[in-house]
Amino acid sequence: MAETQEIIKLENAHKDYRMGESVIHAVESIDLNIKKGDFIAIVGPSGSGKSTIMNLVGALDLASKGDIFLDGQNIENLSESELAQIRGRKVGFIFQTFNLIPTLTALENVMLPMMFQDIGREERRERAEKLLKDVGLEKRTNHLPAELSGGERQRVAIARALVNNPEVILADEPTGNLDTKTGRQVLEILKNLNKQGKTVIMVTHDLEMAREAKHIIRLRDGKIEK
């Protein structure tokens, strides 16, 4: 039973970047167990490998060495389309720069991840509308990202991350481009999601915010500080 509680597991994970002759060890020998329903904050100086770990966990990138398990499945040996399925269904990404598609309205942006899954038209709209309502944007559904404030854009992005009902939310500096007040609002949403049972991993520079998480992981030079 204890095994099933572990949603994310990294075993001796390495990620190297080759830059011509030299090799950059972005992260090295990471062992990490994250339980279902946990709320983890990852902190550390710039370049310490925070984003790299998020990318590995979210199947955006493959480790150079070691294994990464998501929900008990080793994602290091999967095909491209299987990885795409994992990204689409098991995890929801929230980025510092929001990464909304500028030509799509808020509603369409939230519906986008469902286009790559087998979900009927009606249901897509219903789900997207409900999620936008949950983040308080029911009046902004037909606005383009350029017509929204930073905080509103990040809330659209959160709705988008949730739309396929993933178990894990990966937020890489979600408040980095927001002022303190809107940043807090976003943090509150993430805490709420965690209360509803989602596993949340958040990268942040803000120690005060990090303290709101259940656990903090400190990174330095690609390694976890004990």
Partner 1 sequence: MKDYFFLAFNNLKRRKLRSWLTMLGIFIGIAAVVALISLGQGLQDYITEQFEMMGANKLIVMPGRGMGMMTADKLTSKDLNVIEKTKGVDMATAVVYSVSLIKFKDEVKSIFVIGLPTDKTADIFKEMGGFEAEKGRDLKEGERDKVVIGYLLAKDNGFFEKAVSLRDKLVIKEKEFRVVGIMKQIGNPGDDSQVYIPIDTAKEILDKKDEIDAVYVQTKDGFVPEQVAENLEKQLRKSRNEKEGEETFNIQTFEKLLETFQKVFSVVQGVLVGIAAISLLVGGVGIMNTMYTAVLERTKEIGTMKAVGAKNSDILLIFLFESGLLGLIGGLIGIVIGVGLGKGAEYIARMALGVSLFRASFPLWLIFGALVFSFVIGSASGILPAIQAAKLKPVDALRYE
Ligand X SMILES: Nc1ncnc2c1ncn2[C@@H]1O[C@H](COP(=O)(O)OP(=O)(O)OP(=O)(O)O)[C@@H](O)[C@H]1O
- Sheet (strand 39-43) strand order: 91-94, 168-172, 199-203, 39-43, 215-220, 223-225
| Least separation in angstroms between CB 128 and ligand X | 30
> What residue 81 binds from partner 1, ligand X, Mg ion, none (CB within 5 to 8 A, per partner kind)?
partner 1
Residues 39-98 that bind ligand X (CB under 6 A): 44, 46-52
| Least separation in angstroms between CB 51 and ligand X | 3
If 0-12 CB within 10 Å is exposed, 13-18 middle and 19+ buried, where does residue 25 land?
Answer: middle
Residues 46-105 that bind partner 1 (CB under 8 A): 55, 58, 60-61, 80-81, 84-85, 87-89, 93, 95, 99-104
Measured from the CB atom, the residue of 132 and 219 that comes closer to ligand X is 219
If 0-12 CB within 10 Å is exposed, 13-18 middle and 19+ buried, where does residue 216 land?
Answer: middle
| Distance separating alpha carbons of residues 92 and 166, to the nearest angstrom | 6
Residues 165-224 that bind partner 1 (CB under 8 A): none
| Least separation in angstroms between CB 51 and Mg ion | 3
> What residue 24 binds from partner 1, ligand X, Mg ion, none (CB within 5 to 8 A, per partner kind)?
ligand X
Residue with token string 């986008």: 112
Among 34, 38, 51, 210, which residue sits at the site for Mg ion (rule: CB under 5 A)? 51
Residue 34: closest CA among 164, 170, 144, 129:
170
Measured from the CB atom, the residue of 6 and 16 that comes closer to Mg ion is 16
Residues 2-31 that bind ligand X (CB under 6 A): 17, 19, 24, 26
Residue with token string 């609002």: 185
Give residues with Cβ within 8 angstroms of 223, minimum separation 6: 27, 28, 29, 30, 49
| Distance separating alpha carbons of residues 142 and 28, to the nearest angstrom | 45
Q: Which residues bind partner 1 (CB under 8 A)?
A: 55, 58, 60-61, 80-81, 84-85, 87-89, 93, 95, 99-104, 112-113, 115-117, 160, 164
Q: Which residues bind ligand X (CB under 6 A)?
A: 17, 19, 24, 26, 44, 46-52
